[in-house]
Structure 1
Amino acid sequence: MGLFSFIKGQFIEVIEWLDDSGSMVYRFPAYDNAIKMGAKLIVRESQAAIFVNEGQIADVFGPGTYTLSTQNMPLMTALESWPHAFHSPFKADVFFVSTANFTNLKWGTTNPVIMRDAEFGAVRLRGFGSYSIKVGDPAVFLWELFGTRSDFSTEQISGFLKSIIVTAVSDLISESRIPVMDLAASYEELSATAAQRLQPRLAGMGLSLTMLNIENLSLPEEVERMIDRKSSMNIAGNLDQYMKYQTAEAIREAANNPESGAAGTGAELGAGMAMGQMMGQMMSQMMNQQPQQQAQPPVQQQQTQQPMNAGGAQGQSDTGKKFCSECGERLGENAKFCSNCGTKV
């Protein structure tokens, strides 16, 4: 093989990208960037090929198979001042850009966002969700974000995109003035509005936001506990009923936890006794709240009876007759002992 044949053999004759890496951009590795005029360019579906001449974007090719020539490379021809039917090898950087839809990308708030709520005042809000993007303008994307890298993936811009999304969602929630209690019912509307706001900014980077989803907006634990208490109070009806409900729940929990009984600490036993006393007081109050009887029972009239000389009553009856002080047996007029029990009269 002669020297000319060796050099000729080093020129690139087939340019293609077998996309199996999940990258958004791939730089084709050309030997000394020397490409044979008449070489075959293969661009698959969801791809775009971009020729860059000395740092300047030239021709862009969509899906298809091409034979490179001055006819289908007008910008390169103009930049290099090629004559018609130019056949010599040329130098250029070739980049493949994936135009596929990159799905299930995540966003979330690193720090809580402070917003003002009409009912709870200033609250700290956290949120997370997912989004999908695709390259809408390969040339703009390559110019704005890619630079001189050999490849480019979504992970390399995920942090940048996440900050943009979080800022837009935070501003939207604050401006919407939706009460905290009603946010969960507005996820779909907020997601659609946020996507509309983000679209122009991403388009300036050659990207297209195909989906934005707000999965959750959560409050700090202390605020969530306050909401739970308020819900329980609403269910109970009033504060008195709520306290009774809370006491009953505490007693039920203590009953379900045998270790908190006699085997518990002194503090636990004291708490249990206090809870029992509180429950007793509440039950007493409940009993006192029952409707009172409309009328008291009539006082029984005391019966006036003549004292009977029985069971310790010693003396004579209206007839003047004697009775035994022990057994009540009728005595004779001159009896000194009871004929029934023998007691001395």
Structure 2
Amino acid sequence: MALWDKLMGEIVDIVEWLDDSNNTLAYRFERYQNEIKYGAKLVVREGQMAAFINEGQLADVFKPGTHTLITQNMPILATLKGWKFGFNSPFKAEVYFVSTRKFTDLKWGTPGPAMMRDKDFGVVRVTSFGIYAIRVKDPGIFIKDLVGTDNRFTTDEIQENLRGKIGLRIKEVMPELGIPVIDMEAKVTEMGNRLRERLNPEFETMGIELVEVQVQDIGLPEEVEKALDKRGAIAAIGNMQAYTQYETASSIRDAANNPGGAAGVGVGLGAGMAMGAQMANAMGGAFGGAGGASPPPIPGAAAFHVAVNGQQTGPFDMSALGQAVTSGQLTRASLVWKTGMAQWVKAGEVPELASLFANSPPPVPPAA
């Protein structure tokens, strides 16, 4: 095999690279003992550059085109070799072809959540991922710093390094925007541009240009996503009282459908009341001015507890109870209690609740 390579090296006088891959950044031309004939043709295709290396030192770099390898076309190599009056054929040198096309769809992502302060949600863990594109800008620096003596250098050998650099920098860029986390999806283009501008000087030290960075997704914690859903529900209903009634009726319905989960009913029933109270306080602060005192509770407002599957829930005001009656979740037979009552009694026997059942239909009789 060595003899065949030697014979082919003496016959072939074309130095070229036909790239049949989609991830090769640099390729070392293979020739027996790296011997190249005087007057050989160097073919550099579009999207390529060729660099001559003499004993580890970068010599001449050729752009796309067909070049005749003679002394006049290789001034740096001629100087390194000491060719003052021409040279004898063949000569020894390594030839590296470098792909200068754009390599796209390379993936990046944050190595871990970025901690951000948000005025609505406090400290939030945010993640992000996307794609980026690169191209070789300076073949000499690229070969020296990254390729070395590798005979074929691919994107797989550098992706982990580049992906880590982008993933770390995005943690700096996101807080600098100074916007709520829920608004970041609208700023992904700006984030990508900032990343490219900030990282390009660092990439260029390796002979690489960061052509593009796309931020494709901003990930928020599950609890923040749920809070956003709640906010959307409030906006859709448009009325805090209606929202409270909606939450109460939903919780009673869930408890009736899931007797085994009654232990957590109180939490579910209280969710709507708590949300309504928080929003009401916030609105009161907005309209009443900073530092204003909260008003006292409305005097005489009745608040009843409801027994659901043997568990105490509530207390609920008359409005919430009325909604539960309308939805059929609170009946005359439901047990209720409020402060001052000696024991639990049926809702239909409480005078204060009589008006709630005045217009409601009686229980459906059992099927015959």
TM-score by length of 2: 0.67
**2: distance between equivalents of 1:168 and 1:267?**
46
- Provide the residue aligned with 1:21 in structure 2: 21
- Asked if structure 2 preserves the Cα contact closer than 8 Å seen for 1:38 and 1:87, the reply is no
Change (3 A) 1:280 1:117: closer
RMSD over aligned CA atoms reads: 3.2
Amino acid at match of 2:129: F
SS class of match (1:161): helix
Cα offset, 1:104, TM superposition:
0.9
Q: Which is higher, the Rg of structure 1 or of structure 2? A: 1
Cα offset, 1:283, TM superposition:
4.4
- Provide the residue aligned with 1:308 in structure 2: none
Task: Provide structure 2 residue ranges, at least 5 long, that are not aligned to the other structure.
Answer: 270-306, 326-351, 353-368
- Asked if structure 2 preserves the Cα contact closer than 8 Å seen for 1:236 and 1:245, the reply is no
- Provide the residue aligned with 1:284 in structure 2: 322
Greater helix proportion: 2
Which of the residues 242, 256, 274 maps onto 2:308? 274
1:208 aligns with 2:209: yes
1:10 aligns with 2:48: no
Q: How many equivalent residue pairs?
A: 278
- Asked if structure 2 preserves the Cα contact closer than 8 Å seen for 1:13 and 1:36, the reply is yes
1:73-127 Cα deviation digits (max 9, x unpaired): 0011000001333232111111110001101111111211112122212111100
Cα offset, 1:53, TM superposition:
0.4
**2: distance between equivalents of 1:240 and 1:274?**
22
State how 1:93-172 maps to structure 2 within 5 Å.
Answer: 93-172=94-173
- Provide the residue aligned with 1:187 in structure 2: 188
**2: distance between equivalents of 1:107 and 1:96?**
27
- Asked if structure 1 preserves the Cα contact closer than 8 Å seen for 2:111 and 2:164, the reply is no
- Provide the residue aligned with 1:47 in structure 2: 48
Cα offset, 1:165, TM superposition:
1.0
1:29-67 Cα deviation digits (max 9, x unpaired): 121111111111111110011000000000101111111
SS class of match (2:195): helix
Task: Provide structure 1 residue ranges, at least 5 long, that are not aligned to the other structure.
Answer: 255-259, 289-345
SS class of match (1:186): helix
Amino acid at match of 1:13: D
Change (3 A) 1:270 1:196: closer
**2: distance between equivalents of 1:15 and 1:83?**
24
- Provide the residue aligned with 1:330 in structure 2: none
Amino acid at match of 1:178: I
1:57 aligns with 2:47: no
